[in-house]
Amino acid sequence: MKRNALLILVLLALAGCSPLAGRPQPVVTHVLTLPPAPAAPAGAGRGSLILAPVDAPDVHQALNLIYSRSPGTLAQYQYARWSDLPPRAFAALLRQRLAESGQFQAVAGLGAGVRGDWQLNVRLAEFHHDAATPPGNGRVVLDAELVDRRDGRLVDRRVFRAEAPAPSFDAAGAARALGEASGRALDDLATWLARVRPAEAR
C-alpha cells in the first residue's frame, strides 16, 4: 500500500509539471454584430448627414466586455474582449446603418470634408450585459441630438433604450445580446431621424 501511495504521489507531481497544468484561459475576442436592417424605402434621400465621433463614459473606452449583477455596479469579463473600442465600433455601425436607410444622399464622419446639412451627436450612455437575473439582457442606451448645421439650431434630442435577451449566461451570450440591442436602438434612431428632419430639406 505504501508503494501504491508513493506511485500516486509521483503521478500527481508529474501532472502538476505538465505543460497543460495551470494553462491560462484564452481571451476570446468578440465582434459587435447587428441583426439585418429593415428594408430601405424606395427613392433617394436628400441632404447629407455628418456624424460626430460617438462619445461614451470612461468604462466603455476600453476593450473589455462589461456586465452588471446589481444596480449601480459594473464589472469586466476577465477573458472576453471586443475587437474594437465600443464607441468606435458603434460609430462605424451607426454610419453603415444610416447609409443603408436611404434617408440621406451622403452620410460622413466629422472631418471628412463633406459639407453636411445636419450633424448627429451620439453618446453611448450604457452598453453592458445586465446579468442580475440569468441569463440576463444586453442593455444599450443612446443619447442623441440632431443639429442643423446651416444655423446651428438644435432640431431635437432623444434618449433611446433597447434590451435584448442573452442566449447564454456568459460573455458570448452577452456579446450577441448587445449586438441585437444595438440594432434595435439604431433602428429606432433612424426612424426618429426620418420624423424630425425639417420638412423643407427632405
List C-alpha distances in Å: 94 to 37, 50, 77, 131, 174: 11, 11, 25, 26, 20
Three-state SS letters, 151-197: CCEEEEEEEEEEEEECCCCCHHHHHHHHHHHHHHHHHHHHHHHHHHC
Higher-confidence residue of 2 and 170: namely 170
Pick the CATH number of 29-201 from 3.40.50.10610, 3.60.20.10, 3.30.465.10, 3.10.520.10: 3.40.50.10610
Q: What is the percent of the chain where pLDDT is above 70?
A: 84
Could you tell me if 180 and 35 are in contact, meaning their C-beta atoms sit under 8 angstroms apart? Answer: yes
pLDDT, position 21: 42
Report how far residue 14's alpha carbon sits from residue 181's, in angstroms, rounded to the nearest whole number. Answer: 49
Helix axes 86-100, 171-196, angle to 10 degrees: 50
- pTM, rounded to two decimals: 0.83
pLDDT interval class at 202 (50, 70, 90): very low
Residues 6 or more apart in contact with residue 20 via CB below 8 angstroms: none
pLDDT, position 20: 37
Strands 75-82 and 64-68, bridge-based pairing: antiparallel
Could you tell me if 196 and 155 are in contact, meaning their C-beta atoms sit under 8 angstroms apart? Answer: yes
pLDDT, position 116: 84
DSSP 127-142: EEEE-SSTT-EEEEEE
- The sign of the CA dihedral 37, 94, 114, 119 is positive
pLDDT, position 22: 52
Mean pLDDT of 116-123: 94
Report how far residue 178's alpha carbon sits from residue 197's, in angstroms, rounded to the nearest whole number. Answer: 28
What residue spans define the domains of the chain?
29-201
- The sign of the CA dihedral 195, 200, 201, 202 is positive
pLDDT interval class at 13 (50, 70, 90): very low
Mean pLDDT of 83-91: 96
**pLDDT over 90 (residue 10):** no
